[in-house]
Each structure stands twice: as structure tokens, then as C-alpha cells.
Structure 1
Amino acid sequence: MVTLRCTRKLYKFLEIVPVETPEPPTGALGDWYANLVPTYAGDLIIFVNELSLVTVAIPVWESENLIPLFRARVENLLLMIGVPKKVIDREIRHLDPVQFARTASRSVLGSMNDIAWNYQIISEEAEYVAHLSLSDAELKLSQMPSGALNYRFPSDVAKDLLAGKD
């Protein structure tokens, strides 16, 4: 079980109604936050993990397949940062079922705003290389130190959480 804690803007776009009292997450990474972000390369739906601040994104035009693509992007990112496949498979199983709820942490929202800005910058830079690689952007953002994590890398925090460390 996982909760996608969406911004109001994303709720309106997806035309979903949030649950009032979400069930607690069952995976090591906890819940995820999601927002709709305009970029030079096209609008994205970004997802930010509440505990590690790792992030994945999908193009907004793929929103009909939101949940399967979210799971696939998380799996891909965890592979790229070096998480063992067995551990990834276990965590991906915890991304089902998905419930939608309101955001609950201003700190995560602040970090998500920084991450959104970085996606916008990366998409502008991608203009010069002819395309935006979401995998490259996700990996780059997972390896940027975050003040909210005491200047640790989100990828390192995610690996520690998945290994059972804090």
C-alpha cells in the first residue's frame, strides 16, 4: 500500500477525489508526493519520495497510465542507483494498491518545488541535445545533495531505507 499525496493542481487535472484518512504505507520508502510541472520540453507529473526525496517523472500526456508508469519509473531509478533487483521487486510490490490523498508535509512540498525547478532547468538544457531523457534527469536529481536531508544524496538515503537503515 502506498499513498500518492497530490497537489490540488494535480487533483484537478486527474479529476480524482482524495481519501480523507489514508492507510499507512507498507514499503520502506513510504509515501510519494506528486505535482504537475510545466517544462520547456512539455508538462510533467513529478513524484517525490517523502523520506528520501528521490524523484521520478512521467510526461503528462501519459497520465492515462499513471500508476503503471509510476511503478516502472521507480523500478528504473532504483536499478540506476544500484539497488539490488530482489530489494527493488520487494519495494515495487508495496506500490500496490495506490491511494490518493492530500499533501501533509510543507517540508516535502518545499523540496518538491526545488526539484520541479531543477526539472525545468534540465529540460531547458535538453533543448541543445534534442531531447529530454527522464532517466538522466532522475539520476542527476538523485545525486544532488539536499539540505532537507542534511546534505546527503537522495539516492544514498533511499538505499539506506531499503537496506533497513535510517
Structure 2
Amino acid sequence: MLVLRCTKKLQTALKLKKTDLVDASVETSNFCSWHLNLIEIDGRPCLLVANDQTLFNFLIADVPQLDATQLIQLFKSYLHCVLAAEGFEQTFIQNLMTDFAEVRFANTNSRRVLGSLNELAFFYLCHLEDEGIHSPRLPEIIKKMNRVVMGMISSSAINEVHDLFGLERPQHQW
């Protein structure tokens, strides 16, 4: 089961009610719990997403007004693309998507992850400041952000994902 832990701001934008949320302490396996925050870059709404355990992250720029079902599809689509861009095999990605068949929304439950999201938001803002959110370099920036050593995990997100699934770490090229 996939759990999308949304900030209050995002819950309001999605018009989620308390009855739409599962208990924040719901247990999930490995890569199945994600924090999502609605941020603003260049006056445009953007969705910042990070995995709770690995801090593997991505930014969805210029997000239109969505309902919950549309957000789930957008999340899965972007995650699929980002994982493919990182070189993960299609069978691996498809297995994850199968694990994500059931999706639930919840409140955020980790100040540490929220703090990391705020740090990531600042980094993305700095990278996109000159070029704007429609920069053709956004995929490259996302890749770079997953190679930043984050204090919460004392490693880079991409290495954490590989370690989590027992995969060989990628050779980083700068």
C-alpha cells in the first residue's frame, strides 16, 4: 500500500476531508511512504515529493488544480519517469507500481522529513531561480538533488534507494 502524507496546504488544495485520511501511524513497507508538499516557485504551484525513508525526491512544476485521483496518477507517472531516468530497470519499476495499487492519504508524521522537504525546497528554488520552473534542465536538477548528502540520512537519496533494495550503487558522474 502506498501512503501519500500530505501537508495541510496540499490537503486543502485537494479538498481532502479527515474521513479521506488514514491514521498517520499506519505501517508501510520500505518505499511506500512519501511526504508531499505544495510549494510556490516563481509564483507557480509546484509539488515537492520525498520518500520518508530514503528522501528520494522530485519536483513536479506548475501543478494544475487537481483532485485526489489525478494527484495519484501524476505522482505515479512522475515517479516512474524519475526512476527510469536514474537507470532503474522497467521490471523493478513495474513491481513498485504493482505494490502501489492501493493508495491512501495521511497527515504528515515526521518533523525530520518535513525539515528535509523545506531544505529541498530551498535547493530547488536556488537551482531554478535564474531559469524558471519550466527549465529544460529540471530532470538534471532532480538527478542532482538526489545526489545531495542530506543530514537526516547522512547519505545521498539515490544511494539509500539502492541500499534499500540491495542494488549496486551507481557510479556518480558530476
User: Shorter-normalised TM-score: what interval?
Assistant: 0.7 to 0.9
CA distance in 1, matches of 2:118, 2:136: 19
Corresponding residue number in structure 2 for 1:51: 53
Corresponding residue number in structure 2 for 1:158: 161
Call closer, same or farther: CA 1:20–1:76 in 2, change over 3 Å. Answer: closer
Which of 102, 106, 112 in structure 1 is aligned with 2:107?
102
Pairwise CA distance, 1:42: 2.1
- Partner of 1:13: helix, strand, or coil? helix
Q: Which blocks of at least 5 consecutive residues in structure 2 are unaligned?
A: 169-174
- Partner of 1:63: helix, strand, or coil? coil
Q: Which blocks of at least 5 consecutive residues in structure 1 are unaligned?
A: none
**Which shows bigger deviation, 98-107 or 17-26?**
17-26
Pairwise CA distance, 1:66: 1.4
Higher helix share: 1
Higher strand share: 2
Corresponding residue number in structure 2 for 1:124: 129
CA distance in 1, matches of 2:103, 2:134: 35
Structure 1 contact 19–100 (Cα < 8 Å) conserved: yes
- Partner of 1:101: helix, strand, or coil? strand
Pairwise CA distance, 1:76: 1.4
Corresponding residue number in structure 2 for 1:135: 139
Under a length normalisation based on structure 2, what TM-score does the superposition of the two structures give? 0.82
Q: Is 1:149 matched with 2:153?
A: yes
Corresponding pairs, count: 162
Under a length normalisation based on structure 1, what TM-score does the superposition of the two structures give? 0.86
Pairwise CA distance, 1:131: 2.5
- Partner of 2:162: helix, strand, or coil? helix
Letter matched to residue 55 of structure 2: L
Pairwise CA distance, 1:82: 2.3
Which of 39, 42, 56 in structure 1 is aligned with 2:41?
39
Pairwise CA distance, 1:67: 1.2
Pairwise CA distance, 1:88: 1.4
Identity of aligned residues (%): 25
Letter matched to residue 16 of structure 1: L
